[in-house]
Structure formats: C-alpha cells, structure tokens
Amino acid sequence: MDLNVCAAVKRGNATNMAIIELSCPTGFEFIDDQLDDLVDNKSCSRWEPADKKTKVKIYLQSLYIHDICFTVSAFRSMRVSRYAKVYSKVYDYYNLQRETLESYTFIDDAPACEPCPFGRDSCNQTRPGCT
C-alpha cells in the first residue's frame, strides 16, 4: 500500500520544525527502508516508529505555503475483515495550536482468500519471501 502525503501551511507564516504523524490501517506496517529513503533524499530530517511500526512520526525542518509531498509505503502483515478510519496529524513542533487532523479509509479490493497471507495480490509491498 502506498500512502501519498502532502502538507503545507494554509494560514500564517512558515513553521519551524513540523511533525507529520501517520497511522497505517490495521493489518499494515510501514517499511523502514522506504522511510530511510525520505531522509536520504532530504524530504524529511528524520523519522521514528511508534506502536509496533503501525504509526510513524516524520520530522520536517519546516512547512511553507507550498506543498511538500512524498509517498510512504506499507506492507500487509495480516488480513483484516473490516477497516476503521485511520488518522494523520500535522503540527508545528513549537506551537501545538497549529495542527490539523485528517482521516482516510483504506478500501481493500482483495479477494477473501489469498495464497499469500500478506496480501501480495493487493499490495505493492510484501514481506520478503512471500510468494
């Protein structure tokens, strides 16, 4: 699963450090190597996992009026029959009154039975060794 993320300041001045907190739908985990690539290509200054890799905090040097966009990938770690809303939060590290919370819903179009328990047929990323 790929999650396309964009953030920008809509009102006021640019921030200093900003944090984007992302959550995966139940049954998915973020991919460490892909998050490391965000740091390597300067999209963010660092990241840290939370809640067994189902949540991640991405640290940005600042946010401006122009969108900063990147893609975060996750792999299916288990099948789930019903998905709940997932939330993302963006906030100014030094001014917590400047924050926004958004939600999204994952729609699973995979068949009920799959040969791979990690969703190879419906997800771009799977656990290594899954065939």
- CB count within 10 Å of CB 53 equals 17
| 129 part of a folded domain | no
pLDDT value at position 118?
Answer: 52
| 130 part of a folded domain | no
Q: How many residues does the chain have?
A: 131
11: Cα within 13 Å, side-chain hemisphere: 4
- Residue pair 97/116 in contact (Cβ under 8 Å)? The answer is no
Number of domains in the chain: 1
Tokens of 86: 């997932």
pLDDT value at position 40?
Answer: 86
Which letter does DSSP use for residue 65 in this model?
A: S
pLDDT value at position 131?
Answer: 38
Per-residue DSSP letters for 16-49? SSEEEEEEPPTTEEE-HHHHHHHHHTTS-SEEEE
| 109 part of a folded domain | no
pLDDT value at position 129?
Answer: 41
| 110 part of a folded domain | no
CATH number of domain containing 21: 2.60.40.690
pLDDT value at position 90?
Answer: 94
How does pLDDT run along the chain (131 residues), one tens digit per residue?
Answer: 888 899 998 888 888 899 999 999 888 999 988 899 888 888 788 999 888 788 999 999 888 888 889 999 998 888 877 788 899 999 999 988 899 999 888 776 655 444 445 554 544 444 444 43
| 23 part of a folded domain | yes
pLDDT value at position 48?
Answer: 92
Global model pTM greater than 0.85: no
